[in-house]
Amino acid sequence: MARIIKKTATAIIWSAVDVFLRFGLQFLLSVFFARLLSPEDFGMIAALFIFTSLANLFVDSGFCSAIIQHQDISHTDESTVFFFNLGMAALMALLLCAMASFIAVFFEQPLLRKLTYMMALSVFISAFGSIHNAILTKNLMFKSIMTAGMTSSALSGGLSLFLAFHGYGVWSLAWQILAASLVNVMLLWYLHDWRPSLVFSMDSLRKLFRFGGFLFVSSFLDVLYTRMYTLLIGKFFSIADLGFYTRALNTRLLPSNFLDAIFIRVAFPVFSSAAPNTQHLVNGMKATLSAMMLINVPVMLGLAVIAEPFTVLLFGEKWLPSVPILQVLCLAAVLGPLNTVNLNALMAQGHSDLFFRIEVVKKIIGIVLTIYASFHGVIAIAWAQVLISFIVFFINSYYTGHLLGYSSMQQLRDVSPFLGAGLLMVGVIWSIDEHIQFPPLTELLLTIAAGAAFYTITSLCIIKYSKSHYILTVFYPEK
């Protein structure tokens, strides 16, 4: 047990370093790109999200998640999935190329045809590194993932910045995606000695598809739901509106993806190994929830309050239309860790069939609400995400409560200190913003510092004296 704990802690540290460096670089690049490029440039790349996301999904088809989840994977299994991924990647790339003209006509943007060709090549290249990534994740070898990810982000970011400064517009974003895929794959092959054997087993595919197949269909629905906004906004409003929504969404996703990348990619393989012992799995869920919500709550609520000065100072006044969208999307993300942890606990237990049924119900609800909201404007689409986040949480936690004895009310009770401290922090930030006048940058930094200090002190006090909460045993184990 001590060895497992040490290995997990080491994995979390390397995962955190990887994510901090890569996401920090990504954030800095987004600031430069936002100032150099137009909302229309970002809108055109965003218009392709749903198509490239679906293509990447078909390439993997849930098999890499199955490799991580199964504890008895052979080299034949891995090689089979590798060649399956390559074949599907070639097919998806050709299909994207065939659809290029249709996509350009649908969005009334002729440039999308050539952009689609470049994104198709990126999909094909990425498939070469999928098994390496799955094996490294399964073995908690995040130092190698960090090296590959950070290097590819830095090199592709440098190339795209050079192109953006020289007036290449949307092509600088496209080259960034393609270059990142190529460099990342090359480094994964260099850093890990796994190589495929010339074997292909239908038995391996059938074995892994029993788990991965359900995840594939669930992920398919998830992509339709999460990327459907690109079709609705890009078609019925404008490419610029799509750019504003994408800017708000990407800004909100940065801290959310940061947390997921640190905790969840470690938590899933750890949850999978702990799945035979229900109590160990529940304890892991509680610890992960506490750590994630401790960070997520102040970041999301704080960002909602300071969205306007934050956007203007970092991205420029041309992005002001994205501010109200960002504020609403931040509210929708407050419960994000609860949903993510619940789903990963179900997957770790091998309940991919149940996971599938849950996702079907949730995504149908989400798709219907999003389509309905689109008749009332772009901001209404954002508000629909708030309602959906609450519905999704209660659906996910219902099954966690039924199978693991960890209900939605218990989960909310465990994270209530963070929610309470976050709401108090919002009052402090709002008071500073309303009653103290400084130069914009000074005011923003002062507000962030005061909010962070108040939240830290308040949450620690609440945790320490909330003896009925499991959180006490996570942060104060001597109690």
Q: Print the SS3 string covering the chain.
A: CHHHHHHHHHHHHHHHHHHHHHHHHHHHHHHHHHHHCCHHHHHHHHHCHHHHHHHHHHHHCCHHHHHHHCCCCCHHHHHHHHHHHHHHHHHHHHHHHHHHHHHHHHHCCCCHHHHHHHHHHHHHHHHHHHHHHHHHHHCCCHHHHHHHHHHHHHHHHHHHHHHHHCCCCHHHHHHHHHHHHHHHHHHHHHHCCCCCCCCCCHHHHHHHHHHHHHHHHHHHHHHHHHHHHHHHHHHHCCHHHHHHHHHHHHHHHHHHHHHHHHHHHHHHHHHHHHCCCHHHHHHHHHHHHHHHHHHHHHHHHHHHHCHHHHHHHHHCHHHHHHHHHHHHHHHHCCCHHHHHHHHHHHHHCCCHHHHHHHHHHHHHHHHHHHHHHHCCCHHHHHHHHHHHHHHHHHHHHHHHHHHHCCCHHHHHHHHHHHHHHHHHHHHHHHHHHHHCCCCHHHHHHHHHHHHHHHHHHHHHHHHHHCCCCCHHHHHCCCC
Residue 177, domain member (yes or no)? no
Average pLDDT over residues 81-91: 91
pLDDT surpassing 90 at residue 150:
no
pLDDT surpassing 70 at residue 184:
yes
Least confident of 226-230, 233-237, 284-288: 284-288
pLDDT surpassing 60 at residue 471:
no
pLDDT in the model for residue 465 = 64
Query: Under a CB-based contact definition with an 8 Å cutoff, are residues 340 and 260 in contact?
Result: yes
pLDDT surpassing 50 at residue 477:
no
Average pLDDT over residues 186-200: 90
* Total domains in the fold of the chain: 1
- pLDDT band per the 50, 70, 90 thresholds, residue 474: very low
- pLDDT band per the 50, 70, 90 thresholds, residue 174: very high
Residue 4, domain member (yes or no)? no
Q: Please work out, in degrees rounded to the nearest 5, the angle formed at the alpha carbon of residue 184 by the alpha carbons of 183 and 187.
A: 85
pLDDT surpassing 60 at residue 479:
no
pLDDT in the model for residue 476 = 40
pLDDT in the model for residue 13 = 64
Residue 16, domain member (yes or no)? no
Cα–Cα distance between 305 and 447 in angstroms, integer?
10
Least confident of 286-290, 347-351, 362-366: 347-351
Average pLDDT over residues 18-24: 71
pLDDT surpassing 70 at residue 214:
no
Residue 45, domain member (yes or no)? no
- pLDDT band per the 50, 70, 90 thresholds, residue 446: confident
pLDDT in the model for residue 468 = 42
Average pLDDT over residues 49-72: 80
Which carries the bigger pLDDT value, residue 35 or residue 59? 35
pLDDT in the model for residue 87 = 92
Average pLDDT over residues 423-440: 78
Q: Please work out, in degrees rounded to the nearest 5, the angle formed at the alpha carbon of residue 27 by the alpha carbons of 244 and 257.
A: 85
Residue 294, domain member (yes or no)? yes
Least confident of 120-134, 217-231, 269-283, 398-412: 269-283
For the ranges 58-72, 185-199, 206-220, 349-363, the maximum mean pLDDT occurs at 185-199
Q: Measured on CA atoms in the order 255, 256, 257, 262, is the torsion positive or negative?
A: positive
Residue 390, domain member (yes or no)? yes
- Tell me the whole-structure pTM to 2 decimals: 0.80
Residue 343, domain member (yes or no)? yes
Query: Under a CB-based contact definition with an 8 Å cutoff, are residues 116 and 49 in contact?
Result: no
**444, two tokens:** 């923003």
- pLDDT band per the 50, 70, 90 thresholds, residue 473: very low
Structural domain harbouring 386: 238-479
Residue 186, domain member (yes or no)? no
pLDDT surpassing 80 at residue 300:
yes
Which carries the bigger pLDDT value, residue 294 or residue 94? 94
Query: Under a CB-based contact definition with an 8 Å cutoff, are residues 294 and 351 in contact?
Result: no
Least confident of 94-103, 247-256, 469-478: 469-478
Cα–Cα distance between 24 and 371 in angstroms, integer?
34
Average pLDDT, the chain: 83
